Amino acid sequence: MDFLRPSTWTEALEAKAEVPGALPIAGGTDVMVDLNFDRRRPDALLDLGRVTELSDWAMQDGRVRIGAAVSYARIIDELGTRLPGLAQASRTVGSPQIRNRGTVGGNLGSASPAGDAHPPLLAGGASVEVASVRGVRRVPVGEFFTGPKRSVLAPDELIAAVLVDPASGPQAFSKVGTRNALVIAVCSFALALHPAARRAGTGIGSAAPTPVRAPAAEELLAAELPWDSRAALPDGLAERFGGLVAAAAAPIDDVRGTAPYRRHALAVLARRTLAWTWGEYQCA
């Protein structure tokens, strides 16, 4: 197997154009598992470890631009205030070792419905910056995933970064697993409140072929949360919200859980994150 080691972003894009079958490797926490279990046998690996352009985050035109190779550990340490939902999700990923190596770009690249970065990116209205020698395009994260472990990436494209608006209100992420740590989500849910715009964003993980939003649930909160008075949640609103979130999912039965359990758990996660975020908004 060839091992390609570009040292700049331009070289990386040229290498991907020349060898479209080359498998990018960032932290390697998905790629190495696939190689070790012989699930993948690419002709070449494209190591992005030396490409410094991918390894930082910065503010750009009012948005947070997170390079594809920024680790979960750095998101937790450095972006907890700007992106509390993504930071909370990052804290649930794997173990300290996985959080040191694993990256948001790698999570997007794997495009697993269970990827923990995806729900907060959906709830926050993120875009994925994708590049090739042909140019750069930005894909809304809701359009990035095309199926389980499939995305819109063309064979010659790489993920450059993800762009997210800094939190404009409380955000929360919650996940159910079969144990407390080092666990793939049975299902997960992210909620972002945008009080100035009287809007809410949602993201569901591990309960449909791709990560998805719950648009009807978002509309319910936009219309019925007492944004101005910051009063207690109206009676029954949390239950209706939970029901709409569960209805937006399309779960399957698998080794981690049954479809009915996933729907039930999602409704619980939705009510829980609503209580957390609304409580925070009331105290702000």
Question: What are the residues binding ligand FAD (CB under 6 A)?
Answer: 23-31, 33, 48, 68, 92-94, 98, 101-103, 105-107, 109-110, 115-116, 158-159, 182
Residue from 202, 204, 206 nearest 171 by CA = 202
- For the bound state, the minimum distance from the C-beta of residue 93 to ligand FAD, rounded and expressed in Å, comes to 4
Residue type, 31: V
Of 157 and 218, which has the nearer Cβ to ligand FAD?
157
* Neighbour-count burial for 264-281, b at 16+ CB within 10 Å, e otherwise: bbbbbbbbbbbebbbeee
- For the bound state, the minimum distance from the C-beta of residue 267 to ligand FAD, rounded and expressed in Å, comes to 22
Count the Cβ atoms, other than its own, within 10 Å of residue 218. Answer: 21
- For the bound state, the minimum distance from the C-beta of residue 271 to ligand FAD, rounded and expressed in Å, comes to 23
185's torsion region: left (phi>0), alpha (psi -120 to 50) or beta? Answer: beta
- For the bound state, the minimum distance from the C-beta of residue 238 to ligand FAD, rounded and expressed in Å, comes to 27
Query: Which residues lie closer than 8 Å to 235 by C-beta, 6 or more apart?
Result: none
Of 86 and 249, which has the nearer Cβ to ligand FAD?
86
- For the bound state, the minimum distance from the C-beta of residue 276 to ligand FAD, rounded and expressed in Å, comes to 20
Give CA–CA dist 126/123, Å, rounded.
8
Of 12 and 221, which has the nearer Cβ to ligand FAD?
12
Of 153 and 244, which has the nearer Cβ to ligand FAD?
153
- For the bound state, the minimum distance from the C-beta of residue 181 to ligand FAD, rounded and expressed in Å, comes to 8
CB 213 within 8 A of CB 192: no
CB 96 within 8 A of CB 68: no
Of 29 and 202, which has the nearer Cβ to ligand FAD?
29
CB 268 within 8 A of CB 188: no
Of 75 and 237, which has the nearer Cβ to ligand FAD?
75
CB 124 within 8 A of CB 142: no
